[in-house]
Amino acid sequence: MSSDAEASIPAPRIQLTPQEWRTRLSPEEYQVLREAGTERAFTGEYTDTETEGVYACRACGSELFRSGEKFHSHCGWPSFFDPAESDAVILKTDDSLGMRRVEVLCANCHSHLGHVFEGEGYPTPTDKRYCINSISLRLQPAEGSTN
């Protein structure tokens, strides 16, 4: 999965100073969203959620994923096979930790969401697994939806 457009990543529409982000976010949210941290596997509030609705960026509120694209990958984090809109996220090469991965960022504020993997054999339409930190998301349940 190459990120040819990576060299031309547009500036985020929402630009705040680190202090402004710290005011908006809890320390745990800041560590994941702004410092590319990762929550521990199987601890996030949305790992097994099946509630219908929209998953928005916890930092800026932009729609990122819909419940219809969520699937059970049993990896410890919420998994989606496609973003709500193709331009909702930005993919960026991540060579940290001595391996090549593809980082997923919110297109609106460039907050870290997680990573995307492909070719793992999940029975989804895209064969991609957007492995997203629960703490990066806020579920907006569909009207009348219950868990």
Annotated catalytic residue, options 60, 106, 109, 131: 131
Does 131 qualify as catalytic in the annotation?
yes
DSSP string computed for 72-140: ---SSS-EESS-SSTTSEEEEEE-GGGS-EEEEEETTT--EEEEEEE-S--SSSS-EEEEE-GGGEEEE
Give me the residue label for tokens 């990958």.
73
| Catalytically annotated residues | 131
